């Protein structure tokens, strides 16, 4: 298994973009996955600069509904229109930021989940997904480092 950070708030190389948010490229059992997609499509640009097969993604795993984690989904899905989208149960919940007396949304809203409903393989718990083993392997790998 290989896990490569595509984008986050720092860059390991001056030729790579950085932004608020996170996107990880995971190669596991001959398949390619993206965990979260960053704030914009710059994760795709970084993947190309790192010569990763960004146009051969089998699945996109969304951890939660926050723009910094799902904002780049359109760029990924344009290249991989048949990629499955994996969600955990709470990923569809609206996320808000409190600003004084008011709340403002920081997620993508309900339209995001309608847009990719044909690709969605799981909207309940990750463990109920057919390919949940990737998530278990990532959890194990990240706890060992």
40-68 pLDDT, tens digit per residue, is 999 999 999 999 999 999 999 888 888 88
Question: Which has more pLDDT, 30 or 123?
Answer: 30
| pLDDT tens column, 84-101 | 888 766 676 777 778 888
* pTM of the complete model: 0.77
Core vs surface per residue 60-80: b (16+ CB within 10 A) or e: bbbbbbbbbbbbbbebbbebb
Q: Measured between alpha carbons, how far is 39 from 18 in angstroms, rounded to an integer?
A: 10
Kindly report the length of the chain.
Answer: 145
- Predicted confidence at residue 62, as pLDDT, reads 87
What does pLDDT average to over the chain?
Answer: 80
């Amino acid at each position: 298994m290989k896990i490569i950070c595509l984008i986050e708030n720092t860059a390991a190389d001056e030729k790579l973009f950085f932004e608020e948010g996170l996107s990880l490229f995971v190669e596991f059992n001959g398949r390619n996955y993206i965990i979260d997609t960053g704030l914009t499509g710059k994760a795709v640009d970084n993947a190309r600069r790192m010569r990763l097969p960004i146009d051969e993604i089998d699945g996109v795993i969304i951890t939660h509904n926050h723009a910094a984690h799902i904002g780049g989904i359109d760029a990924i899905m344009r290249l991989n229109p048949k990629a499955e989208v994996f969600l955990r149960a709470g990923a569809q919940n609206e996320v808000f930021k409190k600003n004084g007396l008011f709340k403002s949304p920081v997620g993508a809203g309900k339209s995001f989940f309608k847009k990719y409903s044909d690709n969605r393989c799981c909207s309940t718990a990750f463990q109920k997904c057919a390919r949940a083993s990737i998530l278990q392997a990532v959890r194990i790998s990240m706890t060992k480092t």
